[in-house]
Structure 1
Amino acid sequence: MSTHSFTYAGGTVEPGTVQHTTLAVSETFVGGDVEIPITVVNGEELGPVLFCSAAVHGDELNGVKVVHDLVDRYGPADLAGTLVCLHVVNVPAYLAQQRYLPLYDQDLNRSFPGKERSTPAHRIANAVYSGVLTHCDYGIDLHTSTRGRTTTFHVRGQVAQHDEVARLADAFGANLVLAGVGEEENSLRTASTARGTPVITVEMGEAHRFQERYIERALAGIESVMTDLGMYDGERVEREWGVVADASQKTWVRSDEGGLVELHVGVGDVVDGGDSICTVHDHFATEEHEVTAPFRGVVAGLLQNPIAQPGHPVCHLVSVDEETAETIRRTDESS
């Protein structure tokens, strides 16, 4: 639980106040500070400290809008506890509008908890981790799919290993939860969870855009988490169906041929084993090859760039049982 005042590397925020600030995490080539924008909303009542972070990958923008709306939606009078909002974690990549740190192509989300004396990515990760994340009790890290792909709305976390991670995932209310430990080594989520700050990752949609349906669902999920934690008197998200899948229940379905891709499914769709996911056409329109589902599942991710070469992933498929498949189909028909 938080103390009444919230103290971190950016200073001290008194109860019942809001602080909009920037935190220096690195330097530019000309010696100026690289600063990440942070908002701290410290409630009038005692409660947990929850962080929400966005743009650890610089081109993943849905989360940026979610955090923007959070600081506009909740004030100190609304909260028991502290809401820490990291608007843009990877500022250099965000400015370049690319996934990784410019020049060295380093993945910030494989660099946590970071090191004081190492690569640029590790130094930024260390400044964020030690300066902000270690001062929080829980976390929600917001992401999208990488460029050229899209992903359905889902949560990732070490739900089988950590009861409080499972609590966050359940409270957030996404239908699909991808469980795992050891995946995404040195990510913000795994490093923070290992230290004792339970974190879930929210994946939603595409890079380089705001997608309102996902943004609103994420805001509802965060309110649901704050309600569960006793931070806010709000609404809990009620799921119509739910799947928690481990590594054995999911796969990337890949094309064995190169060519032009004609998709036959969308994210969130259910397919049966043997159903066509896409057709790959050659450029002369003389050959075509079907890519089929290896098992019954829900489409969690999908290629958006409509060209492929052998081995190219075209569909992220998560196994579901027949009863869940029928529930998803009924839900889709009624929506």
Structure 2
Amino acid sequence: MADTFEYGGGRVPPGEVRHTRYAISETFLGDPIRVPVTVVNGERDGPSVFVSAAVHGDELNGVKVAHDVAARYDPSDLAGTLLVVHVVNPPGYLAQQRYLPIYDQDLNRSFPGNERSTPAQRIANELYTGLFSWCDYGVDLHTSTRGRTTMFHVRAQTEHDGAARLAEAFGANVVLAGIGEEDNSIRSSCTNRGTPTITVEMGEAHRFQRPHVERASAGIESVLTDLGMYDGERLSPTWRRVVNARTEKAWVRSDAGGLVDLHVERASVVEGGEAICTVHDHFGTEEHVVRAPFTGLVVGLLQNPVAQPGHPVCHLVSVDEETRAAIEAAS
């Protein structure tokens, strides 16, 4: 028989589903700011996993994944507990913007938080101590920021065995490894304190993209299956590239301002020296070609078609010939 699942101020007996709103702060009027939370506590004993979305308030793909995951699993199907935090950043979500409104603070650079510090630090502290720290594993859902798009991939501190296990079980083709150690994100703070957590990046802000939503939902099922919590499908991608984030990737940037004409697509492979985009001035008299510094896979790409010097236009990760052949065979 499973145990009662406990979190900050709440207890959910085995075999029950609990929908609640967990208070994390107050408005200027003194009214509570609450995050919507679903707890599915299985009928059988097992680990606990949190799924979180919208720590950046405009990243909506994860919100739909959380919605679908919370509705999908029944306590009779689970060995362990699934905790879904549907919207981590309600003020940003209500304003449909990335950061906490008014203060312009990045909540995902504020963990594990401080109960005596800034609004972002206090909210992060309440989320961490009241929700995330009660779980054994975590999956944090993101999209690219506005004006950019990213292919489906995972970020993880793979030197931690638990995080490496989650990253592999999730089944993404690309894993950016070894990033987030000191960035005060949900992922790094939880992983460094005993709750291995991965970040899932997918698509664009301000929209639901059904292929990404379905792929992330399948990845969560794969994780739950790998952990012995659910009898489902364990994903095995046809190719996989684990990238050392410090040495095997680059944001390729424009050296000029103007109108951007892209020559590559997201998830495509480009040759070293190949033109990624051309930046034109508004008179059509000057142009600047941005070229790939090495042969690589286009993980992220500019969507807003204007740039200024230093503007990132492409997120590129290196690939060897074997991986390149596998990518091209799968496409």
Please indicate, yes or no, whether the TM-score normalized by the shorter chain is above 0.5.
yes
Aligned-partner SS, 2:217: helix
For 2:182 and 2:249, the matched residues in 1 are separated by: 15
How far the C-alpha of 1:327 sits from its partner, in A, is 1.3
- Aligned twin of 1:57: 56
For residue 162 of structure 2, what is the aligned residue in structure 1? 164
Equivalence for 2:26: 27
| Pair 1:303-2:267 in alignment | no
Structure 1 residue ranges without an equivalent (≥5): none
- How far off its partner does 1:158 sit? 0.4
1:116 aligns with 2:140: no
1:227 and 2:225 are equivalent in the alignment: yes
Partner of residue 209 from structure 2, selected from 197, 208, 211? 211
Would you say the 8 A contact 1:6–1:14 is kept in 2?
A: yes
Cα deviation code 1:268-300 (max 9, x no counterpart): 101110111111111111122211101010001
The match for 1:96 is: 95
Alpha-carbon spacing, 1:220–1:59, altered in 2? closer, same or farther (3 Å): same
User: 1:124-139 to 2 correspondence within 5 Å?
Assistant: 124-139=123-138
Change (3 A) 1:148 1:184: farther
CA distance in 2, matches of 1:315, 1:19: 42
- Offset from partner CA, 1:132-187 (integer Å, 9 cap, x none): 1110000000000111111110000100x211111000000000000114556110
In structure 2, the residue matched to 1:199 is 197
Identify the residue that residue 238 of structure 1 maps to in structure 2. 236
Offset at residue 192 of structure 1 (A): 0.4
Please give the alpha-carbon distance, in whole angstroms, between the structure 1 residues aligned to 2:240 and 2:317: 12
Displacement of 1:65 in angstroms is 0.1
Q: In the aligned structure 2, how far is the partner of 1:46 from the partner of 1:183?
A: 31
Shift of the 183–261 alpha-carbon distance from structure 1 to 2, 3 Å rule, reads: farther
Counterpart in the other structure of 1:315: 314
Q: Aligned pair 1:141/2:140, yes or no?
A: yes
Q: Distance in 1 between matches of 2:141 and 2:262?
A: 27
- Report how far residue 264 of structure 1 moved: 1.0
1:153 counterpart = 2:183 = no
Counterpart of 1:270 in structure 2 is: 269
8 Å CA contact retained: 1:110, 1:184? no
Asked if the contact 1:158–1:180 (Cα under 8 Å) also holds between the matched residues in 2, the reply is yes
TM-score calculated relative to the size of structure 2: 0.98
Gaps of 5+ in 2: none
Counterpart CA distance in 2 for 1:283 and 1:183 is 42
Cα–Cα, structure 1 residues 254 and 326, in superposed 2: closer, same or farther, change >3 Å?
A: same
Q: Provide the secondary structure at the position in 1 that maps to 2:198.
A: strand
Q: Within 5 A, what are the aligned runs for 1:60-71?
A: 60-71=59-70
Deviation at 1:238, TM superposition (A): 1.4
Alpha-carbon distance in 1 for matches of 2:133, 2:310: 40
Partner of 1:258: 257
Map residues 178-189 of structure 1 onto 2, 5 A cutoff.
178-183=176-181, 185-189=183-187
Residue aligned with 1:327, SS: helix
Change (3 A) 1:55 1:313: same
TM superposition shift of 1:229:
0.1
Question: In 2 relative to 1, CA 86–23 (structure 1 residues): closer, same or farther, beyond 3 Å?
Answer: same
| Partner residue in 2 for 1:74 | 73
Per-residue CA deviations over 1:85-138 (Å, capped at 9, x if unaligned) read 000000000000000000010000000000111101001000000001110000
For the Cα contact (< 8 Å) 2:63–2:86, is it kept in 1?
yes
SS of aligned partner of 1:248: coil
Whole-Å separation in 2 of the counterparts to 1:77 and 1:308 = 52
Relative distance call for 1:182 and 1:141 in structure 2 (3 A) is closer
Asked if 1 retains the 8 angstrom alpha-carbon contact of 2:270 and 2:297, the reply is: yes
Aligned-residue offset at 1:31:
0.5
Structure 1 CA distance for aligned equivalents of residues 219 and 211 of structure 2: 12
Q: Equivalents in 2 of 1:205, 1:6: separation in Å?
A: 33
State percent identity of aligned pairs. 68
Q: CA RMSD in A?
A: 1.1
